[in-house]
Structure 1
Amino acid sequence: MYENFTVADRWTAEPLVCKWTANVVAIATRHADAVDVRFSVNGRTVWIALPCMAWVEQKRRTGNVITDRLAAQIAGHYLKQSIENGYDNGREMYTMTLDEVFQHMDAVIGEAGRTDNLPSLPVIAD
C-alpha cells in the first residue's frame, strides 16, 4: 500500500518513488513528542512526524494500538496525498496533527479492511 509507492508530482508530473525506510521515536533523537516515519522520495529523505498522543488517544478510543506497520501506512498515505495536492515543497520534515493521523488511519484501514491485512514492513539491510 503506502510503504512503497510511486506518485506523480502535481506540478511537474515527475514520478516520485516513495519508500518507507524507518520508524524512529523522536523523543530520543530530537526531543520531540512524536514518532518520525522516514521515507526515501527519489533518494531524498522525507520525515513524517506523528504525535505520540495519537497512540494514547487510539488506545483510549478503541482499546487498540497503532502498530509500526499502521504508523508507516498512515504516514505514507499522508505523504502521497500531500504530493498529489502539491504540498511537497522540498521540506525534509512534515508534522501531522492528531486529527490528520486519525483521518489518514481511517482511510488506510478502510482500504485494507482490517489492520492484519496491512503489508509487512520490508527488512532493509543497507
Structure 2
Amino acid sequence: MYEDFKVTDRWTGEDLHCVWKGTMVAIATRHADATDIRFAVNDRHVWISMPNLAWVEQKRRTGFVITDYLAAQVAGRYLQHAVKSGYDNGREMYTMTVDEVLEHAGAVVKEAGRTDNLPSLPVINPDIRAEDELGIHLPGEPA
C-alpha cells in the first residue's frame, strides 16, 4: 500500500520512490508529543509527524487503536497526497493534525478492508509477512 510507492511530483514531474524506513516516538528525540514516521524519498529523508493525541482520539471515536502498521500507512498516504497535490515542497518534516491522521486512517482501513490486511513492517520479503520470515509471533497470533 503506502509503505513503498511511486508518485510523480506535481510541479517538477519528477518520479519519486517513497519507502518507509522507520517509526520513532518523538517524545525522546524532539521533546514533542508526536510519533515520527520516516520515509526515504529518492535521495532525501522525509519525516511525517503525527500527534500522539490522534491515537487517543481514534480509540475514543471508534473503539479501535492505531497500530504501528496503520501509522506507517497513514503517513505514507499523507505523503503521497502531499506530493500529488503540490503541497510537497522539499521540506524534511511535515506535521499532520489529529483530524488529518483520523481522516487518512479511516481511508487506509477502508481501502485495506481491515487492519490485519495491512502489510507488516519491515518488508523483508514481499511474499512473506515479516513475522513469518523472522519467526516472531505475539501470544494468541496464528503462527
- Equivalent residue, structure 2, for 1:107: 107
Moved over 2 A (4+): none
| CA–CA separation in structure 2 for the residues paired with 1:40 and 1:24 | 15
| CA–CA separation in structure 2 for the residues paired with 1:52 and 1:122 | 22
Matched residue type, 2:3:
E
Q: How does 1:89-100 map to 2 (within 5 A)?
A: 89-100=89-100
| TM score, norm. by length of structure 2 | 0.84
Deviation at 1:12, TM superposition (A): 1.5
- Equivalent residue, structure 1, for 2:76: 76
| CA–CA separation in structure 1 for the residues paired with 2:88 and 2:58 | 28
Figure out how many residues of one structure are paired with residues of the other and give that number. 124
Q: Cα RMSD between the aligned structures? A: 1.0
- Equivalent residue, structure 1, for 2:35: 35
Identity %, equivalent residues: 70
Q: Which moved more, 1:10-19 or 1:54-63?
A: 54-63
Matched residue type, 2:56:
V
Structure 1 alignment gaps of length 5 or more: none
Matched residue type, 2:7:
V
- Equivalent residue, structure 2, for 1:18: 18
Q: Please say which structure displays the higher CA radius of gyration.
A: 2
Matched residue type, 1:52:
N
